[in-house]
Amino acid sequence: MKEEKIKENLMEKIVSLCKRRGFVFPGSEIYGGLAGTWDYGHLGNELLHNIKQSWWNKFVAAREDVYGIRAAILMNTKVWEASGHVAGFADPLENGEKFNTMFKTQIGAKKEEITTSYLRPETAQGIFVNFKNTVDAFHPKLPFGIAQIGKAFRNEIAPRDFLFRQREFDQMEIEYFVRPNEWQKFFEYWKDEMMEWMEEIGLDMSRVHDVEVPEKERAHYSSHTVDFEFEYPFGQKELFGLAYRADFDLKNHNLSYQDQDTGEKIIPHVIEPTFGADRAFLALLLSAYSEDNLGNEPRVFLKLKPTLAPVKVAIFPLLHNKPELVKKAREIYANLKQEIPNIVFDDNGNIGKRYRRQDEIGTPFCVTVDFDTPQDDTVTVRDRDTGTQERVKVTELKEYIKEKIL
């Protein structure tokens, strides 16, 4: 099917698919919703989890120089004063008055003990306030990083474009600490690493562009920023960001680093790769969304990489009213589920409808138990992308599937 045809009303198609198939629902929908909030359904939560896990595996678990943490959302207000957020984290209103986009809250029960706090607008400060703790606990040598995945909150004036601009969202962020004279080298290094991960998860790289952010548009803490922008149906806009924060944060928090070998005391500079998990989710759906004709019928399918697909394999009996087929399909399902995560049993509707349903949620393989199975102990394995079918021995099925999806 022509690319131009697929692009018609693409956002509407994505939003509709997400609700219909249990990926994403409007927040508080039964009460009329709440602008800028979205709830992830079962399949959406699985896909979002897989995105985060892929990120964590690459940037934390597989490395020796990055330490993962999980900082509290609420922090002492002095953190936000020192970081410049209380004074400078604001968007302009139409009349020119500045509006601070941090959500303010109160801590304490008694009036005289109530203190002001904020829902964090970024995860970075939770990393910076744990810089000394990490150094004291693990004694890392420069360069090294601290990473976390967590919620951030911004009181957006005009949340819009589905998951693109929300009032609460998940950030995946690294603060990478380097010697001041090495920041440019590591800035380029992390730029390459970010591009590599985008390609690994299956983003359409022809729609990804790295853009130098001019000084007047950079965040107050940034000395140099590159935005990775994606061609969304509503325009080319920010997907991820890479910022050089210099020594802004550690200096403001009165933190330094002492070299274990030389005794030299310095304030490291910081390279910050920032990834929005929700924007990654949206860009991935837009990249994976496909339409074609299969068996002389139009179909929609998500061409997700098997490692990211929320469902890896669907097991079918050819007919749901044949007990011997259902029993065998259940046995195969139970056997595979012991070692293969995220597989489902599906006997709802006819076989054609089941294929279309699994295609639409991005399931890479469907396994069908049919009338030949009791005779030759084989099943039909169908490939999502091509629709081709292959007979596979039941005794060999587990290894066949594992080789394809893990």
Q: Which of 10-24, 86-100, 163-177, 188-202 has the lowest mean pLDDT?
A: 86-100
Contact 298, 292 (CB under 8 A): yes
Contact 37, 168 (CB under 8 A): yes
| pLDDT at residue 114, rounded to an integer | 84
Q: Tokens for 37?
A: 């909030």
Check residues 101 and 238 and name the one with the higher pLDDT. Answer: 238
Which 3 state secondary structure label does DSSP give 55? helix
| pLDDT at residue 1, rounded to an integer | 47
Q: Report the distance separating Cα 101 and Cα 99, nearest Å.
A: 6
Angle between helices 42-56 and 277-288 (to 10 degrees): 110
| pLDDT at residue 292, rounded to an integer | 95
**Paired strand residues for 392:** 379
Q: What is the pLDDT of residues 166-216, one digit of tens each?
A: 999 999 999 999 999 999 999 999 999 999 999 999 999 999 999 999 888
Q: How far is CA 59 from CA 146, 149, 152, 173, 220, in A?
A: 10, 11, 20, 10, 26
Q: What is the pLDDT of residues 124-137, one digit of tens each?
A: 999 999 999 999 99
Exposure string of 7-19, with b = 16+ CB inside 10 Å and e = fewer, is: eeeebebbbebbe
Contact 194, 228 (CB under 8 A): yes
Confidence at 97, pLDDT banded by 50, 70, 90: confident
**What pTM did the predictor assign?**
0.94
Confidence at 94, pLDDT banded by 50, 70, 90: low
Contact 274, 171 (CB under 8 A): yes
Place of tokens 């995105």: 51
| pLDDT at residue 168, rounded to an integer | 96
Mean pLDDT of 6-16: 88
Beta strand 257-258 with 98-100 is unpaired
Mean pLDDT of 333-344: 94
Q: What is the pLDDT of residues 156-178, one digit of tens each?
A: 888 999 999 999 999 999 999 99
| pLDDT at residue 92, rounded to an integer | 64
216 CB neighbour count, 10 Å cutoff: 5
Contact 94, 230 (CB under 8 A): no
Mean pLDDT of 243-261: 94
Contacts of 382 (CB under 8 A, 6+ apart): 355, 365, 366, 367, 368, 388, 389
Place of tokens 């693109």: 164
Contacts of 149 (CB under 8 A, 6+ apart): 52, 55, 56, 123, 170, 171, 172, 173, 277
Q: Report the distance separating Cα 64 and Cα 199, nearest Å.
A: 23
Q: What is the pLDDT of residues 278-310, one digit of tens each?
A: 999 999 999 999 999 998 899 999 999 999 999
**Paired strand residues for 137:** none
Angle between helices 277-288 and 10-20 (to 10 degrees): 110
Contact 83, 252 (CB under 8 A): yes
Q: Which domains does the chain have, with CATH numbers?
A: 3-70+125-286 (3.30.930.10), 311-405 (3.40.50.800)
- Mean pLDDT over all residues of the chain? 94
